[in-house]
Homo-oligomer: A and B are copies of this chain.
Amino acid sequence: MDSLLEKFSKLGCDNAPGQEGRQKAAVLDLRGEKLEGRLVDFSHGDVDAHPPIPGTLSDFVTGVEKIGGHQAYTEYRGNGGIRSELAEKISAFTGSAIDPDQNIILTPGTQGALFLAVGANMVAGDKVAIVEPDYFANRKLVEFFGGEMVPVQMDYENAQDCAGLDLTQLEKAFQDGAKLFLFSNPNNPTGVIYSDAEISRIAALAKQYGATLIVDELYSRQVFDNRTYTHLCAKEERPENLITIIGPSKTESLSGYRLGVAFGTAAIIERMEKLQAIVSLRAPGYCQAAFHSWFAEPAGWMEERIAAHQVIRDSLLAKLRACPGVSARTTEAGSYLFPKLPPLDIPVSDFIKVLRVHANVIVTPGTEFGPQFTDSFRINFSQDRQAAEAAVDRIITMIERYRA
C-alpha cells in the first residue's frame, strides 16, 4: 500500500489544464481590485471561438443512425475502413508508408496514443529520455510505469532556426542505456519546431543505439511563416522502432470526440492494441466516424485557421514583449506560447492562482513541463482574439502589481 500511495503521490493533476477547479482554496495575497472581464481559459483552446471542421457532427450522426452496430463495435485498433482512409491521408501528409492493417491504431485522443505507446515500449526500471521542457504527461507516464527519467535539455530561448535540443546530451542518454526517447514536435509548451538537421540526428542516434522513438506530432499541421516541418518517420535514417502520434484535437478542434492516431512499426502497434484491449477497448466507436472530415477539410479552411491563429499570436506576443522583463520565443507551429516572467515578490505558483481568482485568467504553470521552469507559464492562444487580448492585458496589469 505504501508503494502504491508513493507512486500516485508523484502523479498530481490539480495543476493540469482544466483541473484548476479542484485546487484547494489557498490563502493568497490579493492586491487591488479584482480585474473583471470575460474568463479566458488559456489552459486549452476555445472550440467555440474556433469550431470543429464542418461536417464532423453529421459524420457522427450518420455513424450512429446509418451504420449502427458496425460503427459501435470496431476492432480494438479501430474500424478497418477508417484505418484505410487515414493511412492514405497521413501517408500523403508525412511522406511515410502506412499499411492500414499493420501500421496504424486509432485511440481515445492522442493522450490515449501516448499512453499506449509508452506502455508498449517500457517496463519498470527502464531508462527513458525526456526533453525539458516538454508535455507534462511524458514525465508522468514514465513515472507511472516505474521508469527512470533521463532529462535532455532544450535551449529554446537562445537557439535560432532549430529547437535547440542538446544532441550531445541525447547521445549520452542513449550511451547510458536509455532505450526510449519521446518528444513533441512542435514542442509543447514552447511552440518551436525541430530543424531538419535535428530530426536527422535524432533519427540516426536512435538507429545507432537501437533505441525506440515516440514522436508526438499533434500540432504539426499548424505551421506559421511558411517554415519547413520535417517528419522523422519519412527520414531514411529512421530507427526500426518508431511510433508517430497525431490527432484532430487541436488545430481541428475535435477534442470533444476523443480521437487520436498512432502509426509506425507493426510489432509496436500490435502491442499497443493488446494494451488498448484492457485499457478502454477502442476509440469511441461512433466518434471514429468523425475522422472522415479530417485531412479532408473544405478548400481554404486550414489556411484560414492558421492565418487567424497567426494574427492572435502576433498580437499577444507584441503585448507581452512590451512588458519589461517578459520574454517569449515566437511560436513556430501550434498554439502555445511559453512566456517567462520578470522577478515577482510572490511565488509564480501563487501568481498563477491570483490570475485565476483575481483576473479571470487561467494559465498553466511552467513547472508542469519540467521542475526548473519556475518563472514561466504556458498559454494556448487558440482563443477568441479580443478576449485573449484583454486577458493578456490583465496579466500584464497583474505583473505590475506583483513586480519585485
* Partner-B contacts on A (CB < 8 A): 1, 3-4, 7-8, 11-13, 16, 18-19, 21-22, 44, 46-48, 51-52, 57, 60-61, 63-65, 68-69, 71-76, 80, 107-109, 111-112, 115, 120-124, 137, 140-141, 144, 146, 179, 255-258, 271, 273-275, 277-287
* Cα–Cα, bound, A52→B65 (Å): 10
In the assembled complex, the CB of A341 is this many whole angstroms from the nearest CB of chain B, namely 26
Taking CB atoms, residues of chain B closer than 8 Å to A137 are 277-278
A145 to chain B, nearest CB (A): 10
B12, B47, B64, B275: the one within 8 Å of A274 (CB) = B12
Q: Is the CB of B108 within 8 A of A140?
A: no
Whether the pair A280, B112 counts as a contact (CB closer than 8 A) is: yes
A290 to chain B, nearest CB (A): 9
Q: Is A123 a contact partner of B13 (Cβ separation < 8 A)?
A: no
Which chain B residues lie closer than 8 Å to A108 at the CB level?
Answer: 108, 258, 280, 284
Provide the residues of chain B in CB contact with A12, threshold 8 Å: 274
Q: Given the known A-B contacts A57-B65, A121-B4, are A140 and B278 also in contact in the complex, defined by CB atoms under 8 Å?
A: yes
In the assembly, what is the distance between CA of A60 and CA of B285, in Å? Answer: 14
B256, A286: Cβ atoms closer than 8 Å = yes
Task: Name A111's contact: one of B107, B111, B140, B278 (CB within 8 Å).
Answer: B278
Closest 4 CB pairs of A and B: A72-B256, A258-B284, A256-B285, A13-B277
Q: Which of B19, B52, B75 contacts A75 (CB 8 A)?
A: B19
Q: Is the CB of B47 within 8 A of A57?
A: no
Residue of B nearest to A282 (CB): B258
Q: Which chain B positions have C-beta within 8 A of A121?
A: 4
User: CB < 8 Å: which of B16, B68, B258 contacts A47?
Assistant: B68
Q: Which residues of B lie under 8 Å from residue A120 when comparing CB positions?
A: 4, 8
